[in-house]
Each structure stands twice: as structure tokens, then as C-alpha cells.
Amino acid sequence: MDMRTLLILIALSPFATAADRPGMRDEIDSRAQHFGDISRRIWEFAEVGYKETQSSALLAGELQSAGFRIEPGVADMPTAFTASFGQGKPVIAILGEFDALPGLSQDAVPERKPRVAGAAGHGCGHNLFGTASALAAITVKNWMTSQHISGTLRFYGTPAEEGGGGKIYMARASLFNDVDAVLAWHPGNANRVTTQSSLANISGKFRFYGKPAHAAAAPDQGRSALDGLMIANMSIEMLREHVPSSTRIHYIITNGGAAPNVVPDFAEGYFYARHPDMPTLDGIWARMVKCAEAGALASETRLEVELVNSVYNLLTNAPLAKQLDRNLRIVGGVRYTPEETAFAQALQKTFTGERDAPLSHATEILEAEAGSVGGSTDVGDVSWIVPTAQFNTATYVPGTPGHSWQSAACAGSSIGRKGMIVAAKTLALSAADLFEDPKLLEAARKEFDARRAGNPYKSRIPASHKPPLHYRDNPTAGGGQ
């Protein structure tokens, strides 16, 4: 049974949520300015994965001040934390992220203008992600207190989503094992609930070690690490023809040597492989490693392979998705001021290809789409452990590509902050529904068990593998990380 059919069947048996809880939405509106300022500060910090010291501390401090119990540095990650309120069952979790992307520094203006040349920027909007989730959690906590609601509300401050896999180490530390349902959202260029799966992802660094020599006077004495890497790259390019068409492979050369007249004794490439199915991806990655081994053999160099990250595809959940969709429609989308409309129109002029989309997509709630999205997320691992659902709101101008300077500009603007408030309200209403409606949790668990049957979760990260806290560091010539 496909996801669209499941959604139709679930729609025939609506869950009980008699009240739209206007008080919760009003509370979020009253705090919008304060949390908008927090999102802007995190946008300005622009800290990359596992370096989000200020961003993590700011959100944890807000939650602690609101009455949450903070457990810092969980799962051997200094910037990871949990914030809990209440006790007992059910346990409802809200996810928050806060890492930035390298090289996407951008001012909140509709033309390319880095705030700091070459620095990081929030091109995926995680400054909004973590902030909206924290605002929602605080609002739900206050509602639980006023209504004498039992159970546990937990916020997860998850670092390094962008390739560092913070959530997989939290999962490995059993931090999700007692959770009944997980809610998440993500910045986007439209408002819709996610019923699409994501791509499983394996990433790693191929390091080649050779022998230096004068490139002109004694080239025969050298063994080029760069040659090994280039042969590996060429082999992987040829491999593309012989993998399933839904596969994605991409890489960068992070170190290619120190000088043209010195035979490089060290070279490094950072590789990603993605596919909708994890077992299939395992085989693709094994073939890529063989390509790297061939490069080392042909160049007479030594190869080291560091597994950086591996995340599952997203296991969607129709009952939770339906409830998110209901609440997203109650909240409604984003409405632009004349100034925001001018910003949006100017930004759309910078798009290439067929990326234009009507500005009305920011206001409308779009229907969920079937299939698979092109990206990967460590939320996927969480979704194989506990029933999980997420959605997008229009924090970007419609048509904006993700991981771009345009999305970074939106994430620091009032347009981004408006979409963030839509997300906070939707999360808060949905979490309240889960606390009040045991049948909704039962339906979510029933579908989760049925969809995961025969496919147990098993992380590809070895038990001995520590969180790659320095995966964003630049390797030095000859020394790796």
C-alpha cells in the first residue's frame, strides 16, 4: 500500500482534536519578536557542524529558563543536548537543529553579498529550525502545566545535521528508545507536510599517502598521492553508468598537494553516495571503496578510508503526517508585506532555470507529494526507531533553491521568521494532540511496526566510531585531519 492510499484511509477515521487551541497560537505570537531575535543571532553566529557552541548554548539557556531540565553534551557531542519537562508516558519529542553550511555567508538582501567572505551561512535555515522547535516546546510545556497534562515533553538539540550525523549518535546512545512519537519540521519554499522519503546516505574521506620528490628533477623518486585520488575519481565517474539511476554520487577534493613542483605525498577527497534504499547503497559504497583501492594500487600509494557519516532514508508515518497537515491548515501560511513582496520579486530574478514559483505558494498549504526527495537527513535514522513525521513551511521565497545564498538571505529576513512562526504553531498544536489522544499514538505505532517489519534498524556507523567532531576542519598537507 503506497503512502497516498494510506493518507486517504487515515482521512476516513479522523482523530479527536476538537479545539484549535487559539491560546497556544496567541502565546506564540506574543513571543514571536523575542524568538525572531534568537533566530537572527544564530543566523549571525553561522556555526558549522559540531562547532555550534554559541547556538546550542543560546537555545539550551532559553529552554532551561522556561523550566526544562537540560542534559548537555549527550552522546559524546559537546553541542548536543536534551531538554525535558514532565515525567512518565507518553514521551513526545520535538527535534531542533542549528548548524550552518560552509561558504554560504550572505547578508539578508536579494543580491549576492557575503557578510564575511568565505565564511559559513545558514543556507538550510537551521537557525530557524532550532528556534521554532524551542518556541513550540516552551509553549507546549506551558499548556501542559496549565491543563495538568501528564507525560514527558522532550526537545532534542541535534548538531551537525549537514553531513555530521549528530542524531545517529544520539540514537546509538539510546536517547530515543523511550519516545512514543517524534515531530520535526524543516525550512522550505512552500508549506506542506512531508510524505516523501529521503535518500539514504553514506559519506567518507579517501586519503592517499605517497612519497614526495622534486617534480622536475626527480619525478621517478616520487609516488603521487594526487594521482591515486585522481584515478579513484575517474573510476568512480565510470561507475556512475553502472549503478541504479536513482543513485547520487558527489565529491570534492579537500587536499590536492602543497605545490605544483612537489610530488604530493598526501591527497584527500570527500565523497557522498545516496540511494533511496540502504541495502542497495551498501553495495554502491563498497564499489566506490574498490575504486579508491584501485587508485592506490595503480599509483603505488597507501589508502585510508574514514567513514564520516551514514544516514537512513526517512520512514514516513501517515497518521502523524495527517495530524500535521490538519494543524498546518489551521495555522495557515505566510503573508508578505509590500516590502517583503519587493524583496521576494527581486530575489526571484536571481534564480536560474525554471525555479520561478508563484508567491502565493508562501500563503497556500500545498498537498503532500509522493515519491522521494533528493536530499538526505539524519532524521531518517530517528524515523526507523520511533514513529516520526515532519513538514515544511515557506521560510524561503517560493522557488528558492536550498543550500544557496538566496536561502541564506531568506533565513536572516522577516520572511524566514514568519515561516518559523508557522512552524512553531503547527508543532505546538500537533504535540498537544499527541498528549491528549492515545488513539493517534496507537495508530502511529501500528503503522510504524507494519512498515518496518522485517527491516530492523542497524546503523552503518561502527560502535567504535566516535562522532566526527572535526569533519568540517580542513586537512593540512601531509597530515590529514
| Domain residue extents for the chain | 3-198+313-452, 200-309
Please list the alpha-helical segments (H only) found in 13-125.
Answer: 22-45, 53-65
d(Cα 26, Cα 17) in Å, to the nearest integer?
Answer: 18
Please list the alpha-helical segments (H only) found in 316-458.
Answer: 318-331, 338-348, 379-383, 405-411, 414-436, 438-452
> pLDDT at position 194, please?
86
Segment 311-324 mean pLDDT: 95
pLDDT exceeds cutoff 80 at 18: no
> pLDDT at position 474, please?
66
pLDDT exceeds cutoff 60 at 225: yes
User: CATH fold of 200-309, please?
Assistant: Alpha-Beta Plaits (3.30.70)
d(Cα 294, Cα 291) in Å, to the nearest integer?
Answer: 5
Q: Which of 154-163, 236-245, 288-297, 374-383 has the lowest mean pLDDT?
A: 374-383
> pLDDT at position 442, please?
98
Q: How much of the chain exceeds pLDDT 90, in percent?
A: 86
Is the separation of the CB atoms in 266 and 478 below 8 Å? yes
pLDDT exceeds cutoff 60 at 476: no
- The C-alpha cell 566506490 sits at 288
Note the pTM of the prediction, 2 decimals. 0.88
3-state secondary structure of 185: strand
pLDDT grade, residue 355 (50/70/90)?
A: low
d(Cα 290, Cα 142) in Å, to the nearest integer?
Answer: 55
DSSP 1-20: --HHHHHHHHHTSPPP----
> pLDDT at position 15, please?
44
What mean pLDDT, rounded, does the chain reach? 93
Segment 220-246 mean pLDDT: 97
Span 114-131, pLDDT tens digits: 999 999 999 999 999 999
> pLDDT at position 357, please?
86
Strands 91-97 and 266-275: unpaired
Segment 346-350 mean pLDDT: 95
- The C-alpha cell 512553531 sits at 424
* CATH architecture classification, 3-198+313-452: 3-Layer(aba) Sandwich (3.40)
Q: Which three cell numbers stand for residue 379?
A: 532524521
Span 162-210, pLDDT tens digits: 989 999 999 999 999 999 999 999 999 999 998 889 999 999 999 999 9
pLDDT exceeds cutoff 90 at 12: no
pLDDT exceeds cutoff 80 at 156: yes
> pLDDT at position 478, please?
29
| Widest CA span in the chain | 82
pLDDT exceeds cutoff 90 at 407: yes
pLDDT exceeds cutoff 70 at 4: no
d(Cα 58, Cα 41) in Å, to the nearest integer?
Answer: 9
> pLDDT at position 9, please?
42
Span 46-103, pLDDT tens digits: 999 999 999 999 999 999 999 999 999 999 999 999 999 999 999 999 999 999 999 9
Strand order in the sheet with 81-87: 69-72, 81-87, 151-158, 91-97, 181-188, 388-394, 192-193
Q: What share of the chain is helix, strand, coil (3-state, %, to 5)?
A: 40, 20, 40
> pLDDT at position 5, please?
45
- The C-alpha cell 517524534 sits at 182
d(Cα 26, Cα 238) in Å, to the nearest integer?
Answer: 57
